[in-house]
């Protein structure tokens, strides 16, 4: 039986395959992913593929088609069921699977879904995803072979492993969790029964329609319910997850948001006590305060490209025990597996907070104050976005500016810094700026706007976007 399949070109992204269910992503796409990815696992000398899925309404049907495709490629499919993406990563590592695929729409709206993949327990992304698309279209997937499937329940083992690294003091914490109706619901309910302290879980039920709020904890409006509950309970902190629980959001005891780079300061100080001089990685969107604080704590700060697959790859290359992104992906290789896991990051954070002599807000308030924009996103055609970055960089370097080209353009001035990069997953440019004062930030934003205009891009109005950090 011959096989070939063409994906909607918009669905093959840099880090995953993703689309709108029923329009750019359908069960036949899921089958083709299983069939083609399975053949790639076989070519790599593998035989087993672990498969999991999140709580979205479309995930069960996509998972079934994915399993059928992988079995058609001769794979032994290990079905771990519904749960968070990190649980699938854990299953892949513990079961020594040759490949792994998670059906998840992550933090996207309810009508989206997608697939995150690993090959030999390493991220599967970029050229590998493009190759999967090419192989499927060309029908280069090898002969159809009968595979097998079996259900594997790893939930209890995963929770037990999460708890293994609990290192908190006797101080009993009061914690509010916002599951956000995410796929972590069942795991979180098991975890809070084992953790010490008092726990209140909001939106505990797994519900792919996300009735409470959008499943993205990096957007302040999505944290308002958690903030209110932390204040109401006089809690020590609040923790939120995205739709598949590989990203974390944190609120301190005052209800203030601890952004991704601030959270990484707290975690890095703790990890560096056991790993003095170690490399700690953060993406290029992070505050300069983070990189300075890593250095003060005795670590080697490394600024790297945005993207969870890129960060994980760089961690393995450098032997880094810890990394993080502004988007809330936190990666522990210290005692853990090196993948992004909001549940594991929560356990480690709670241990740290329990050992503090004061509240978490004291740590946040002791950090140098800066004024920053949130992440600013504006439309720019895929055919144009990378050229804009090249043009801006060339002009700035010619002018003698201090420029980093690690990922886009990051410009450092006496006022602070600003960043412009092209999204790897959407037809947008992404900008951010951070200054020491409101006036300094205004100058940085004006410089950013000027560079955009010189490349024929209308600068967005972000005059009112300043936020303390």
Question: Looking at 14-59, which runs of residues are DSSP E strands?
Answer: 17-20, 48-53
DSSP string, 393-445: HHHHHHHT-EEE-SSSEEEEETTEEEEEEE-SSSSEEEEEEEESSHHHHHHHH
Q: Check if the beta carbon of residue 40 is closer than 8 Å to that of residue 101.
A: no
Tokens of 386: 């990378």
Q: Check if the beta carbon of residue 77 is closer than 8 Å to that of residue 149.
A: yes
Phi, psi angle pair for 390, to nearest 5°: -60, -45
Question: Among residues 39, 92, 106, 320, which one is catalytic?
Answer: 106
- What does the radius of gyration of the chain's CA atoms come to, in whole angstroms? 22
- Catalytic residue flag (residue 106): yes
Judging by DSSP bridges, how do beta strands 257-258 and 248-252 pair with one another? antiparallel
Tokens of 357: 């002599």
What is the DSSP code (8-state) at residue 68?
A: H
Tokens of 452: 């955009």
Tokens of 261: 């780079």
Judging by DSSP bridges, how do beta strands 122-123 and 112-119 pair with one another? antiparallel
Question: Which positions are catalytic?
Answer: 106
């Amino acid at each position: 039986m011959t096989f070939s399949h063409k994906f909607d070109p918009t669905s093959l992204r840099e880090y995953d395959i993703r689309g709108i269910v029923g329009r750019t992503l359908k069960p036949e796409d899921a089958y083709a992913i299983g069939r083609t990815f399975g053949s790639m696992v076989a070519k790599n000398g593998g035989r087993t593929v672990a498969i999991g899925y999140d709580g979205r309404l479309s995930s069960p049907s996509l998972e079934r088609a994915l399993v059928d495709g992988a079995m058609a490629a001769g794979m032994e499919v290990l079905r771990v069921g519904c749960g968070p993406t990190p649980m699938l990563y854990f299953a892949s590592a513990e079961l020594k699977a040759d490949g792994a695929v998670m059906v998840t729409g992550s933090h996207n709206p309810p009508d989206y879904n997608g697939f995150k993949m690993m090959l030999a327990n390493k991220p599967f992304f970029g050229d590998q995803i493009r190759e999967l698309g090419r192989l499927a279209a060309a029908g280069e997937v090898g002969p159809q072979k009968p595979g097998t499937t079996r259900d594997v329940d790893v939930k209890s083992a995963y929770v037990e492993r999460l708890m293994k690294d609990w290192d908190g003091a006797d101080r009993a914490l009061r914690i509010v969790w916002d599951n956000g109706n995410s796929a972590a619901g069942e795991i979180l309910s098991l975890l809070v029964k084992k953790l010490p302290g008092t726990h209140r879980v909001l939106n505990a039920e797994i519900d792919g329609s996300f009735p409470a709020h959008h499943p993205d904890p990096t957007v302040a409006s999505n944290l308002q319910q958690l903030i209110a509950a932390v204040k109401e309970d006089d809690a020590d902190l609040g923790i939120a997850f995205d739709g598949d629980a590989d990203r974390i959001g944190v609120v301190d005891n005052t209800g203030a948001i601890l952004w991704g780079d601030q959270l990484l300061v707290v975690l890095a100080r703790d990890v560096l006590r056991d790993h003095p001089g170690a490399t700690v990685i953060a993406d290029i969107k992070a505050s300069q305060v983070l990189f300075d604080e890593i250095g003060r704590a005795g670590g080697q700060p490394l600024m790297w490209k945005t993207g969870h697959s890129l960060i994980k790859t760089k961690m393995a290359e450098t032997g880094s025990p810890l990394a993080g992104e502004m988007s809330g992906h936190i990666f522990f290789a210290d005692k853990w597996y090196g993948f992004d896991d909001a549940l594991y990051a929560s356990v480690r954070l709670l241990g740290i907070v329990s050992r503090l002599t004061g509240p978490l807000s004291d740590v946040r308030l002791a950090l140098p104050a800066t004024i920053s924009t949130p992440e600013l996103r504006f439309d720019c055609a895929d055919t144009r976005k990378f050229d804009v970055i090249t043009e801006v960089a060339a002009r700035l370097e010619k002018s003698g500016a201090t420029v980093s080209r690690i990922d886009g353009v990051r410009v450092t001035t006496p006022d602070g810094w600003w960043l412009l990069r092209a999204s790897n997953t959407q037809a947008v440019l992404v900008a951010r700026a951070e200054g020491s004062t409101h006036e300094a930030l205004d100058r940085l934003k004006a410089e950013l706007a000027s560079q955009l205009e010189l490349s024929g891009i209308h600068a967005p109005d972000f005059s009112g976007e300043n936020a303390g950090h």
